[in-house]
Amino acid sequence: MIADIRHLWDKKNYSRIIKLPNVSLSDRHQDFQEVKNLGLLLYVHAALWQGDHVRITVVKKLNVPVYTALCVLWFSSDQNARPYFVQAVVRDLRSYTFDNACGYIKCILQTGKNETNEIPVLVSLVDGTDIESGLKITLPIEDTRIHTDDKKENISFGKEIDSKIKKTCPVEFTVCVPTMFSFGNAGMLVEKLEMSRLLGAGRVVLYNTSIKPNVDAVLRMYSQEFAAGREKLEVIVHSWNIPPITMHYLGQIAAMDDCLYRYKWSSRYIVFTDMDEFIIPFHHASWSGLIADREKLKPGSAAFKIRSTIESLEVHDVYEGYGPTDNVPPDQALLYHYRMPLRKSCTDIRDTRVADKYGQKLLQGLKAAWAKLKKVPSGWNPTNETERAQCRNISSTAKPKAGSQ
Structure confidence at residue 207 (pLDDT): 96
Q: Could you tell me the sign of the dihedral formed by the alpha carbons of 16, 18, 22, 25, in that order?
A: negative
**pLDDT value for 260:** 94
397 band by pLDDT with thresholds 50, 70 and 90: very low
Residue 397 φ then ψ, to 5°: -110, -20
Would you identify the CATH topology of the domain 169-371? Spore Coat Polysaccharide Biosynthesis Protein SpsA; Chain A (3.90.550)
The reported pTM is: 0.82
Q: For residues 137 and 88, is the Cβ–Cβ distance under 8 A?
A: no
Q: What Rg, from alpha-carbon coordinates, does the chain have?
A: 23
Q: Can you give the residue ranges of every domain in the chain?
A: 6-143, 169-371
Return the minimum-mean-pLDDT range out of 217-221, 286-290, 389-393.
389-393
Averaged pLDDT, 66-84: 84
Q: What confidence tens digit (pLDDT) does each residue in 316-332 have?
A: 566 666 789 999 999 99
Q: What is d(CA 99, CA 122) in angstroms, rounded to the nearest whole number?
A: 30
pLDDT tens profile 243-288 = 777 776 777 888 999 999 999 999 999 999 999 999 999 999 999 9
pLDDT band at 9 (very low <50, low <70, confident <90, very high): very low
Nearest Cα neighbor of 103 from 119, 90, 92 is: 92
Q: What is the mean pLDDT of residues 115-136?
A: 79
Cα–Cα distance list, 229 to 107, 223, 286, 367 (Å)? 38, 10, 23, 20
